[in-house]
Amino acid sequence: MQDSKIFEIPAVQVLRRRIEEEGSVFWFKDEALAIADAETAQRIEAANYADLTMLDGFSDVVRGRNSEPVSWHQVRSGWLGQMRALTSAEGFKRLALRMQALLDAESGKDQDLVWLAERAMLEPLVPVIISGLSPRAHRRVVREVMSKVALVLSDIDEHRCPPLHRSKMWVYQFLVGVEVRRELKGRVSGQRPRQTDLTDPMVDMLPALGVDRAADAITALLTAITSSPGASAACLLYEWHRQDVWRERMIAELSALSLDALCESPARLAPATTRFVKEVLRIWSSPPVVTRGVRTDIRYGDTELKAGQGYVLSSFFIHHDKRQWSDADVFNPDRWLAESREQCPHGSYVPFGWAPKSCIGANLGLGQLVLLAHLLSTRYRLQISNPERAKMAIASVIRPMDFTGTVVRP
């Protein structure tokens, strides 16, 4: 993407150059296979994680014994069942009100809009993963999640990770682990109420999982939300500011819907906004690169991987593959119109990853971004301090740089 408003870290520049010179599948020094081809990525991921089993629990490792085998598919199945309640009208309404409360508190403050976007998405998501905590315990979880976000963003924003930050993160992780275990034990004993969150399915699986692995599963979810949701929201704010015609179109669509009405089905009831969100997720897909370890020998066509090797996937470069996408580098939400779907090749749109490890919260994530757009349309206005300085950074996650401003109540 030859655009002066885009900054790429050196590793992304190297990957882009090699894709252009060597094609969408090639080796890094016989150590890792780079994959920017949609079908190859899908097949390799499916083969690598076909029989994924949870690791042994910490206490079993210490005692030198094996934990009872539990497939990740069982864990995911429990979470996906709970997602139906979390993406109900009531679930979306609670999520939107938490987002609104945070933005109300930050209204009128000139600040880093990337950090605000991270907070506006992630802090309201924490109760989706684990709710019913004491205020102190909830603050501990939020602090731990945001400390990981700061580390991710420090690849180009070094000020986000001051001295001792990593040491503090270990302390935060330990404290969150204690809180998660306490909540699990409280629910299974009946001393704490069951909740509509992603922790609750683990309570039913405790006899097979044990507390250690159940806690590991929950903390893995808390880690998983630290990369994409907030970065995607920051990219939405960036395009919301840049795309004048689409902004007015979304304001007209969303202003006609009350929050209660929209929460019934955000993606269905706001089709133009949904197309805008899907295009944001396509053109600014985060993280741009993920690295996997090969768990078992894999052969697909001319591609052969041995256990212990690695491979690198890039949804970003797949979403910008000119062989697959019409005007791949052009921001065009109308490519998602039903009559234009031939421009959106099957299997080449993977903002939520690849099966069987794709994001369990895809519908929730899409809906939350639509809800953010609704808040921007009906309750707030976005003011950018220095719009001429703002640009996109293709780094550990894709997000705007030099993007400061204010969310104000009109």
The pLDDT of residue 410: 85
More confident: 282 or 1:
282
Q: State what percent of residues in the chain have pLDDT above 90.
A: 87
Residues 6+ apart with CB under 8 A from 59: 210, 212
232 lies in some domain? yes
Which pLDDT score is estimated for 227?
83
pLDDT in tens, 310-354: 999 999 999 999 988 989 999 999 999 987 666 677 789 999 999
Average the pLDDT over 194-203 and give the result: 97
DSSP tag of 2:
-
With contact defined as beta carbons under 8 Å apart, do 409 and 378 qualify?
no
pLDDT at residue 155 greater than cutoff 80: yes
Stretch 70-84: mean pLDDT: 93
- Residue 10 belongs to some domain of the structure: yes
In a domain, 17, yes or no: yes
Number of structural domains in the chain: 1
Question: Is the CB of residue 232 less than 8 Å from the CB of residue 281?
Answer: yes
Provide φ and ψ at 4, rounded to 5°. Answer: -65, -15
pLDDT class for 230, splitting at 50, 70, 90? very high
Domain with 267 in it: 6-408
- The answer, yes or no, to whether residue 79 has pLDDT greater than 90, is yes
| Domain presence at residue 353 | yes
Q: What number of CA atoms fall less than 13 Å from residue 319's CA on the CB side?
A: 26
Percent of the chain residues topping a pLDDT of 70: 97
CATH number of 364's domain:
1.10.630.10
Instruction: Please give the mean pLDDT across all residues of the chain.
Output: 94
pLDDT single digits (tens) 112-154: 999 999 999 999 999 999 999 999 999 999 999 999 999 999 9
- Residue 335 confidence (pLDDT): 92
DSSP state of 348: -
- Which neighbouring-strand residues pair with 8? 394
In the numeric block, which tokens belong to residue 125? 């998501």
Question: DSSP per residue over 129-189, as a string?
Answer: HS-S--HHHHHHHHHHHHHHHHHHHTTT-GGGS-TTHHHHHHHHHHHHHHHHHHHHHHHHH
Is residue 99 in some structural domain?
yes
Distance CA 103, CA 114 (A): 13
d(CA 54, CA 45): 17
For residue 2, pLDDT over 70 is answered with no
Q: Is residue 179 part of a domain?
A: yes
The reply to whether 1 falls in a domain is: no
β partners of residue 74: none
Q: What pLDDT, on a 0 to 100 scale, did the predictor assign at position 65?
A: 79
